[in-house]
Amino acid sequence: MERSERRKQRILSVLSRRQYDAVVFLDNIKNPHNIAAIMRTCDAAGIQRLLYTSDGGVFSFLREISRGSEKWVDVERVEEPVEVIKGFKKKGYRIYSTALLDESVDYRKVDWTEPFVLVMGNEVSGVSKEILELSDRVVKIPMYGMVQSLNVSVACGVVLYEVVRQREEKGLYQEKDFPEEIYKRWLNL
């Protein structure tokens, strides 16, 4: 099989296993290294859509961290985060925000097989109050040491691989239809 045919088959295989009803939403994350690392994790976990709200102006991706994943993940800057979250809720998506609050539940106790938006918060201040109020659940990663949090890109990876585990178990990574426009775009990369 020639190289271009192998590439086409690889693209078809990856697209047919993407999780189009799973979205990662970065609420005012400032560090471009964190955003690029999360983007790479999204690609590895089969997440097609990554939204971010950083107010830092035009974002330039760090290629050495994202390892080219910026080509394969749909990344979009959001100007009205609360309205975007409300829009997802209207479409039936569950909103799961990460935070260390009294009402937070272990991230492994959530059903990640339904359509969802995973909201990861700012490195210092966390998820905004407005988005927390719109969340269906607030989730946390249990900590057993002296520190009470992980780096946001590490935390996102931990949660996304629980998503992968649950969705694999339910057969959601099996081949399925995918948006033709993404296929055409990927062929031209």
Alpha helices, DSSP H only, in the chain? 3-15, 32-45, 63-66, 81-90, 129-134, 152-169, 180-187
Strands 74-77 and 94-98, by their bridges, are unpaired
pLDDT tens-digit map of 118-176: 999 998 899 999 999 999 999 999 999 999 889 999 999 999 999 999 999 999 999 88
Section 73-85 average pLDDT: 94
User: Closest by alpha carbon to 84, among 114, 39, 119?
Assistant: 119
Strands 137-140 and 47-52, by their bridges, are unpaired
Domains and CATH numbers, the chain: 19-184 (3.40.1280.10)
Quick one: what percent of the chain has pLDDT higher than 70? 91
In this predicted structure, the answer to whether residue 32 has a pLDDT above a threshold of 90 is: no
Place of tokens 């569950």: 94
